[in-house]
Amino acid sequence: MNTQTNTPTSSQKPKILVARAIFPEALAKLEESFEVQSNQADQILTPAQLQDALSKVSAALVTGSERIDANALAHAKNLKIVANISVGYNNFDVPAITAAGAMATNTPDVLTDTTADFGFALLMATARRITESEHWIRAGKWDKWSIVNNPLGMDLHHSTVGIIGMGRIGQGIAKRALGFGMKVIYHNRSRLSEADEKACGASYVSKEELLKTADHVVLVLPYSAQSHHTIGAAELALMKPSATLINIARGGIVDDAALAQALKNGQIFAAGLDVFEGEPQVHPELLKLSNVVLAPHIASATEKTRRAMVDLAIENVYAALAGKKPPSLINAKAFKA
């Protein structure tokens, strides 16, 4: 009797790396088709461990914690795809990935609204001093209602929000701001079409004008060598003393030391930060200040959206290993039909 079946044995299955912990159901799905080297312990791989792991697999699911560059790819002879579980991909050296013959993908769209919601929440918490107020209550400092001696914040309604980086998430924030009766100005590498500007009620201005006139500055631009320290001491000096600064983009876009100084000196009113230079380390001076709201890079962190991000990354891997074009391919040159 022939007992052979068509179920792939583990040695026939393509090998893949899942570099960080993912939802167990997603891992189980991957294990049906692939021999998976997983990392449910969620310990960040060292560069040597990452290089070794990439040398053994056809596909890798990674996050911003894994730097994928020529060094990481040095022995990755069979790698066909590196799928980032993140929309931002400043952890990728895209030319190096292309040179290694691999496709690079990210997870756009599925996190746009969740991230825009969070940007708005951080803006509100910052302008209205919500976390500072909570700390104040927990410290037993609230002894009476007071007209002047309670945390007085800044209004959002009818104020001007200045958005730097007007991609999908920036536009999502603009649309939310319209609902609050805010005036929306923006600065971006390229100007939006007239129709897109109209949909967001947004006017294009120079970076300088934005910094000088906005009551609230929201950063949503991608990180690159060009956007490093988009906001430093000189830019902070242009902002109003009553202004807030919100960074949901990437650490390194703001000079955190200069920001801490500006917040300490009252050069700007407050800041809300979801991302930091050198995170998960936070500049020690920022930790001492009460006029900054701190969050641990959670703008896309709802369960539904994180599942959608993982699912899209998996879809990219399945497509690449089946010889199809992944839905969110970054380096078109690497796809050979």
What strands lie across the sheet with 183-187, from one edge to the other?
Answer: 202-204, 183-187, 160-164, 216-219, 244-247, 270-273, 292-294
In the complex with ligand DGY, which residue's Cβ is closer, 58 or 90? 90
30 Cβ neighbours under 8 A, 6+ residues apart: 16, 18, 36, 314, 317
Least distance in angstroms from the C-beta of 305 to ligand DGY? 9
Active site residue 168: no
Nearest to 67 by CA among 93, 99, 35, 31: 93
* Selected catalytic residue, list 67, 228, 297, 307: 297
Quickly list DSSP for 253-296: SB-HHHHHHHHHTTSSSEEEES--TTTTS--HHHHT-SSEEE--
Check if the beta carbon of residue 290 is closer than 8 Å to that of residue 311. Answer: no
Active site residue 283: no
* Selected catalytic residue, list 20, 176, 187, 250: 250
CA distance 268 to 255: 14
Least distance in angstroms from the C-beta of 247 to ligand DGY? 11
Active site residue 135: no
Least distance in angstroms from the C-beta of 299 to ligand DGY? 6
In the complex with ligand DGY, which residue's Cβ is closer, 89 or 186? 89
In the complex with ligand DGY, which residue's Cβ is closer, 32 or 109? 109
Least distance in angstroms from the C-beta of 240 to ligand DGY? 28
In the complex with ligand DGY, which residue's Cβ is closer, 14 or 167? 167
Residue, CB closest to ligand DGY: 88
Interface positions with ligand DGY (CB under 6 A): 64, 86-88, 111, 299-300
The partner residues of 246 in beta bridges, in order of sequence, read: 218, 272
129 Cβ neighbours under 8 A, 6+ residues apart: 151, 152, 153, 270, 291
In the complex with ligand DGY, which residue's Cβ is closer, 73 or 299? 299
Least distance in angstroms from the C-beta of 2 to ligand DGY? 49
- Residues recognised as catalytic: 250, 279, 297
